[in-house]
């Protein structure tokens, strides 16, 4: 903790509490708000008076000057707009809307006088005046329109402005370098996020009576350690599906969880929660709550069983706060039981059997997806000696979809480029297994040449003959059932998506050689681990393979679903 933070003041102020003289230094650019002024008016007018919600402006960053005025380091656009709003309100409701602050400028000295006397007749002799007058006219027009609909609208607005609108008052230390702070704020190196502001609660001057300096140093170190540990992607993506860019600092996740603001639309809602709590609780107690919550999440992450159960639920979009609330006042055994009940509910398809669901049915797709995800997660968990952990971070960094293990219908292939790619992918497998139709090998080679124009009829003939070689002669009722589906990365390559088993298997083998992430059960399927070596064929995905696939699925998922049954008409051919 440095001397600047130690002597900083951080608090919330209502708009009427913004008082005094504000000095705008030369390093600030001129006033440039335009549409933003009208948006601010609309936002304030839309505050729901039936709720306790408050509207929060962006932080005002200031530094006290020797003469008692404030150097305005950040927030000039907002304060100037508030000044103009008060100015216009005075024309509608009189002296009730008297402003309590003034603005003066280091290099634009006439601006203070211009703001004081601004009207529809004011000149626009420089760019600052142009924007000030433009905002003034827009604000005036907005109030005229509101008053035309409801005469009391300006009074209603004033009530909301003075009673329901807050600013975060961030007063820098007197020894802080104003220019340096301005640059840091404006290039985003120290963005004033909720977490930065909550951190300041524990470290700023207003807290010194409650926390000794040494204890403040400890908190700063512990805070930074939590942030650092949450930068482990394996930990982060276990806890959330949100991409890193959605959080400027990762400790926000923990603070939002405590404040019950996981998806609050209110900016700085988490900061306001902790700002209220510090008025009720000792800061030691408040910090211990943050630490305790974080350590609970870390304990889940380190526990092999909790990691997989919770990780699955988070991945299917079960909110972290609901899982956390579920854990309260429960033993670990009770918590695990509650998690398993949630998981069972997540894959419940009522009176239907998973074997009856179809890839082609949009309402069935999500049910199959969740079951296959659970199958992969639990299969990883069940490895002996808890040596395997499902890589939620790698899984969430890619897009996954249900794909046919063996595709026997070339859906969506309607361009010559796609046809040629499909043929090219299947040449190695056809050459390996084709003992009788040598003419087909030559035909396939020729069809992929740049000089040859491949027609739809030619492609369909080649596809039909190739699929007869690479597919078992059996009923195809299984094609869109779970016994022929696996989780695969979404590919832009529709030719590969529509390929037969052997082609996809070769692709998976290459991915595996390169160390790419492949979900556990997807690897097991394509490397034929489920099927005994004395049964079936390495190059086909047939009835025997599907039977073993479903048998293993039934074993792994026995706690959560009724056994999956294959299509009866398919079983006849087994």
Give the domain ranges of the chain. Answer: 3-192, 211-343, 384-408+471-571
**Radius of gyration for the alpha carbons in the chain, expressed in angstroms and rounded:** 33
d(Cα 335, Cα 369) in Å, to the nearest integer?
Answer: 25
Structure tokens of 260?
A: 């019950």
Question: Using one digit for the tens of pLDDT, what is the confidence trace for 429-439?
Answer: 767 767 666 77
Please count the CA atoms within 13 angstroms of the CA of 546 that sit on its side-chain side: 30
Residue whose pair of structure tokens reads 């603001």 in the numeric block: 261
- As a whole number of angstroms, the distance between CA 114 and CA 128 comes to 10
User: Tens of pLDDT along 441-456?
Assistant: 777 777 888 888 888 7
Quote the pTM value: 0.71
What's the token pair of residue 487? 């989780």
Per-residue pLDDT tens over the stretch 30-63: 888 878 899 999 999 988 877 767 788 888 989 9
Joined together, the tokens standing for residue 54 give 């408050």
pLDDT of residue 453: 85
Provide φ and ψ at 272, rounded to 5°: -65, -35
Checking if the pLDDT of 207 tops 50, the result is: no
pLDDT of residue 188: 47
In b/e form, how buried is each residue of 84-97, taking b as 16+ CB within 10 angstroms? bbbbbbeebeeeeb
Lowest mean pLDDT among 85-94, 183-192, 336-345, 391-400: 183-192
* Sequence-distant (≥ 6) Cβ neighbours of residue 66 within 8 angstroms: none
DSSP class of residue 354 equals G
**How high is the pLDDT of residue 311?**
98
The pLDDT tens digits for 510-542 are: 888 888 899 999 999 988 889 887 766 676 777
Q: What are the backbone dihedrals phi and psi of residue 69, each rounded to the nearest 5 degrees, phi first?
A: -80, 175
For residues 72 and 514, what is the distance between their CA atoms, to the nearest angstrom? Answer: 56
Task: Evaluate the CA torsion angle 565, 566, 568, 571 in order and state its sign.
Answer: negative
Run of H or E including 42: helix 35-45
Cβ pair 82, 90 in contact under 8 A: no
- The single residue listed with the structure tokens 């006397």 is 117
Tell me the C-alpha distance between 541 and 485, whole Å: 11
Taking Cα atoms as reference points, which of 369, 520, 503 lies closest to residue 424? 503
270 contacts 259 by C-beta, under 8 angstroms: yes
Please, which pLDDT band fits residue 189 given cuts at 50, 70 and 90?
A: very low
Average model confidence (pLDDT) across the chain: 84
First-to-final CA distance of the chain: 71
DSSP 386: G
Helix intervals (H) in 332-396: 332-346, 362-381, 392-396
Confidence of residue 134 (pLDDT cuts 50, 70, 90): very high
| Contacts of residue 110, Cβ cutoff 8 Å, sequence gap at least 6 | none
Q: Quick one: average pLDDT of 387-396?
A: 94
| Residue tagged 């005229």 (tokens) | 144
Which of 31-35, 152-156, 217-221, 463-467 shows the highest mean pLDDT?
Answer: 152-156
Which backbone phi and psi does 147 adopt, to 5 degrees? Answer: -70, -30
Q: Token pair of 439, please?
A: 């003419």
Return the DSSP state at 459: H
The pLDDT of residue 410? 59
Cβ contacts of 344 within 8 Å, gap of 6 or more? 559, 560, 561
For the chain, helix (H) and strand (E) counts, in that order, are 26, 9
Tokens (6 digits) for 350: 């009522």
Q: pLDDT at position 396, please?
A: 94
CA–CA distance, 459 with 160 (Å, rounded to integer): 70
Q: Which of 260, 226, 247 is nearest to 328 (CA)?
A: 260
**pLDDT in the model for residue 389:** 95
- Residue 385, phi-psi category: left (phi > 0), alpha (psi -120 to 50), beta (remainder): left
């Amino acid at each position: 903790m440095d001397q600047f933070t130690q002597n900083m003041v951080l608090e919330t102020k209502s708009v009427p509490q913004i008082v005094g003289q504000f000095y705008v230094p030369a390093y600030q650019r001129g006033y440039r708000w335009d549409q933003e002024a009208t948006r601010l008016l609309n936002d304030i007018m839309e505050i729901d008076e039936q709720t306790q919600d408050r509207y929060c402006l962006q932080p005002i960053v200031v530094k006290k000057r020797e003469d008692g005025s404030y150097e305005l380091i950040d927030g000039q656009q907002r304060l100037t707009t508030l000044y103009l709003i008060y100015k216009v309100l005075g024309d509608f409701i009189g002296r009730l809307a008297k402003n309590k602050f003034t603005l003066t400028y280091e290099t634009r000295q006439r601006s203070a006088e211009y703001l004081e006397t601004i009207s529809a007749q004011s000149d626009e002799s420089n760019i600052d005046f142009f924007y000030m007058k433009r905002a003034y006219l827009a604000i005036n027009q907005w109030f005229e329109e509101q008053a035309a609909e409801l005469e009391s609208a300006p009074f209603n607005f004033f009530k909301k402005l003075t009673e329901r609108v807050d600013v975060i008052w961030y007063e820098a230390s007197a020894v802080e370098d104003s220019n340096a702070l301005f640059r840091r704020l404006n290039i985003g190196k120290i963005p004033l996020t909720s977490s930065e502001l909550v951190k300041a609660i524990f470290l700023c001057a207003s807290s010194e009576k409650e926390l000794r300096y040494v204890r403040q140093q400890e908190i700063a170190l512990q805070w930074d350690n939590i942030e650092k540990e949450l930068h482990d992607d394996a930990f982060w993506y276990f806890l959330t599906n949100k991409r890193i860019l959605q959080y400027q600092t990762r400790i926000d996740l923990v603070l939002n969880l405590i404040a019950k603001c996981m998806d609050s639309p209110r900016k700085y809602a988490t900061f306001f929660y902790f700002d209220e709590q510090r008025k009720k609780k000792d800061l030691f107690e408040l910090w211990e709550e943050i630490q305790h919550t974080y350590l609970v999440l870390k304990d889940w992450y380190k526990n092999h069983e909790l990691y997989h159960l919770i990780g699955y639920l988070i991945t299917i979009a079960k909110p972290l706060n609901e899982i956390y609330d579920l854990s309260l006042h429960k033993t670990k055994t009770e918590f695990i039981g509650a998690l398993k009940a949630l998981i069972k509910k997540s894959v419940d398809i009522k009176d239907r059997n998973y074997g009856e669901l179809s890839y082609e049915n949009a309402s069935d797709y999500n049910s199959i997806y969740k079951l296959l995800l659970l199958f992969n997660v639990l299969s990883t968990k069940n490895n002996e000696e808890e040596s395997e952990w499902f890589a939620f971070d790698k899984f969430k960094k890619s897009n996954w979809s249900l794909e046919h293990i063996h595709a026997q219908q070339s859906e969506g292939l309607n361009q010559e480029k796609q046809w040629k790619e499909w043929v090219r992918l299947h040449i190695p497998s056809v050459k390996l297994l084709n003992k009788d139709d040598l003419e087909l090998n030559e035909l396939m080679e020729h069809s992929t040449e740049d000089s040859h124009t491949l027609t739809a009829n030619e492609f369909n003939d080649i596809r039909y003959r190739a699929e007869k070689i690479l597919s078992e002669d059996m009923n195809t009722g299984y094609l869109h059932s779970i016994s022929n589906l696996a989780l695969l990365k979404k590919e832009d390559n529709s030719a590969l998506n529509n390929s037969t088993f052997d082609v996809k298997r070769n692709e998976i083998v290459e991915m595996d050689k390169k160390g790419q992430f492949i979900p556990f059960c997807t690897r097991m399927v394509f490397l034929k681990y489920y099927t005994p070596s004395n049964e079936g064929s390495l190059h086909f995905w047939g009835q025997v393979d599907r039977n073993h696939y479903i048998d293993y699925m039934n074993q792994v998922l026995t706690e959560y679903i009724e056994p999956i049954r294959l299509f009866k008409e398919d079983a006849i051919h087994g």
